[in-house]
């Protein structure tokens, strides 16, 4: 379960290379700006500094700290796979005995084409599945053959599962928690 | 859009980690053996053509709020209407039709658990459809970018 606590981005950035306490509002604004991505100018952190009232050093220190804390889980290029031609997306759901689900989840997560792997609760009788994997592929056939490989490799032939291909994306965007809905 | 070898390298090298220094694009350009302005120009083009949604970062939102995967079984002929209603609800950031009796899957987010519950109750009441609510119990692997199989692309 996700515990909602006091927002961590309001914590003060500690002393890092001459950076002292930082304005909480500046950090909040920084987070809002960062959700739009890094500006494409030669000194992007300086550009963010001007937008947030922080200094360039403070911006960089805050980003490094958020990376260390895991608040930023990945600081890299965010690719739209659909544009590249990865048009098939399957949510594969499994009904795994409770005493095996943790280990199997860890195993499936390591498959190179599995992008997400989550445990969620069953909702009987309508929903018996407790493990969810997302597989992205260039086309449906390729996704199904990757899945067949996975099933054979892991001996999952007898494991109840369902493949839910997506047929339409009505909305697809990163969550925005600090902007107002 | 056709991506050349340099574009592909740029994506391969920097999906997971961007430099945090005064001139990050200059640092990237040295790794690629091209000019700084060339990196900036390519990123701009990739962004404009929707190959990139943005140049990082990906926040771990569960640390700054809460979210839940939900699904409803909509009558097929009403799917678009139901999906539009779901999109109008506050906090919905993913919403997909999928091939199953539960044919509409969406992620609802909120600043805290109570608000999340209220938003879901309100939406369920509006839609008059039973809703599956599937919070995350354990995450084993969370979108860290993946190696693109360039050869397989159309």
Find residues 136-175 of chain A whose CB sits inside 8 Å of chain B.
136, 138, 142, 162, 164-175
Q: Which long-range contacts (CB under 8 A, 24 or more apart) does A155-158 make?
A: A156/A94
CB A49 within 8 A of CB A61: no
> Do residue B20 and residue A169 have CB atoms under 8 angstroms apart?
no
Note whether B74 contacts A: Cβ–Cβ < 8 A: no
**B13 to chain A: which residues are within 8 Å by CB?**
none
Q: Is residue B134 scored above 90 in pLDDT?
A: yes
Tokens 């609760």 appear where?
A121
Average pLDDT over residues B85-105: 96
- The reply to whether residue B94 touches residue A171, judged by beta carbons under 8 angstroms, is yes
Q: How far apart are CA A174 and CA B53, in angstroms?
A: 10
The whole model's pTM is what? 0.78
pLDDT band at B64 (very low <50, low <70, confident <90, very high): low
Please tell me the predicted confidence (pLDDT) of residue A13.
46
Among A31, A63, A114, select the one facing B141 at the smallest CB separation: A114
Q: Is the pLDDT of residue A1 over 80?
A: no
A104: nearest CA partner in chain B:
B140
DSSP E strands, chain A: 72-74, 77-79, 88-94, 114-119, 131-137, 161-172
Report B:18-57 residues touching A (Cβ under 8 A): 18, 20-26, 36-37, 40, 43-44, 46-47, 49-57
In the predicted model, is pLDDT for residue B61 greater than 90? no
Task: State the best of A43, A74, A142, A165 to mutate against chain B, taking most chain B CBs within 10 Å.
Answer: A74
Looking at residue A180, its pLDDT comes to 31
From A146, A81, A131, A91, select the one nearest B145 (Cα to Cα): A81
- Mean per-residue pLDDT for B53-70? 83
* Alpha carbons B22 and B25: distance in angstroms, whole number: 9
Mode of pairing for the β-strands spanning B58-59 and B66-72: unpaired
Mutant choice from B27, B53, B59 vs A, greatest count of A C-beta within 10 A:
B59
In this structure, what are the phi and psi dihedrals at residue B126, rounded to the nearest 5 degrees? -65, -45
Q: Are A76 and B16 in contact (CB under 8 A)?
A: yes
pLDDT at A178: 42
Pairing of strands B92-98, B52-55: unpaired
The string of pLDDT tens digits covering residues A141-179 is 999 999 999 999 999 999 999 999 999 999 877 544 443
* CA B8 and chain centroid, separation: 20
Mark yes or no for CB contact A84/B51 under 8 Å.
Answer: yes
Q: Is residue A111 over pLDDT 60?
A: yes
B24/A95 Cα distance (integer angstroms): 45
Measured distance CA(B84)–CA(A113) in Å, rounded: 31
Q: How many CA atoms lie within 13 A of A130 on its CB side?
A: 19
- Cβ atoms of B65 and A175 within 8 Å: the answer is yes
pLDDT value of position A14? 45
CB B131 within 8 A of CB B117: no
- Residue B70 sits at the chain A interface (C-beta within 8 Å): no
Q: Are B79 and B100 in contact (CB under 8 A)?
A: no
The per-residue pLDDT for range A30-88, each reduced to its tens digit, is: 999 999 999 999 999 999 999 999 999 999 999 999 998 888 989 999 998 888 888 89
């Amino acid at each position: 379960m996700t515990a909602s606590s006091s927002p961590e981005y309001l914590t003060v950035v500690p002393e890092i290379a001459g950076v002292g306490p930082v304005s909480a509002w500046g950090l909040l604004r920084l987070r809002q700006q960062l959700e739009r991505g890094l500006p494409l100018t030669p000194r992007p952190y300086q550009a963010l500094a001007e937008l947030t009232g922080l200094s360039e050093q403070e911006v960089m220190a805050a980003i490094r700290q958020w990376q260390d804390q895991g608040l930023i889980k990945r600081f890299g290029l965010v690719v739209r796979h659909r544009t590249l031609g990865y048009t098939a997306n399957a949510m594969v759901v499994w009904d795994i005995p409770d005493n095996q689900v943790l280990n199997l989840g860890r195993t499936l997560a390591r498959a190179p084409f599995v992008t997400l792997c989550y445990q969620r609760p069953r909702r009987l009788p309508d929903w018996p599945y407790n493990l969810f994997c997302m597989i992205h592929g260039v086309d449906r056939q390729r996704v199904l053959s990757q899945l067949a490989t996975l099933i054979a490799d892991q001996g999952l032939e007898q494991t109840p599962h369902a493949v839910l291909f997506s047929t339409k994306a009505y909305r697809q965007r990163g969550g925005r928690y600090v902007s107002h809905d | 859009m056709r991506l050349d070898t340099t574009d592909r390298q740029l994506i391969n090298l920097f999906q997971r980690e961007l430099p945090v220094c005064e001139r990050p694009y200059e640092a990237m350009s040295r790794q690629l053996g091209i000019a700084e302005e060339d990196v900036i120009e390519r990123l701009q083009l990739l962004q404009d053509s929707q190959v990139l949604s943005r140049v990082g970062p990906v926040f771990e939102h569960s640390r700054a709020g809460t979210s839940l995967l939900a699904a409803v079984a909509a009558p097929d002929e009403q799917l678009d209407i139901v999906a539009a209603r779901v999109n109008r609800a506050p906090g919905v950031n993913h919403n997909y039709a999928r091939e199953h009796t539960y044919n509409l899957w969406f992620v609802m987010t909120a600043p805290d658990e109570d608000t999340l519950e209220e938003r879901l109750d309100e939406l369920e009441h509006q839609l008059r459809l039973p809703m599956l609510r599937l919070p995350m119990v354990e995450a084993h692997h969370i979108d860290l970018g993946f190696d693109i199989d360039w050869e397989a692309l159309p």
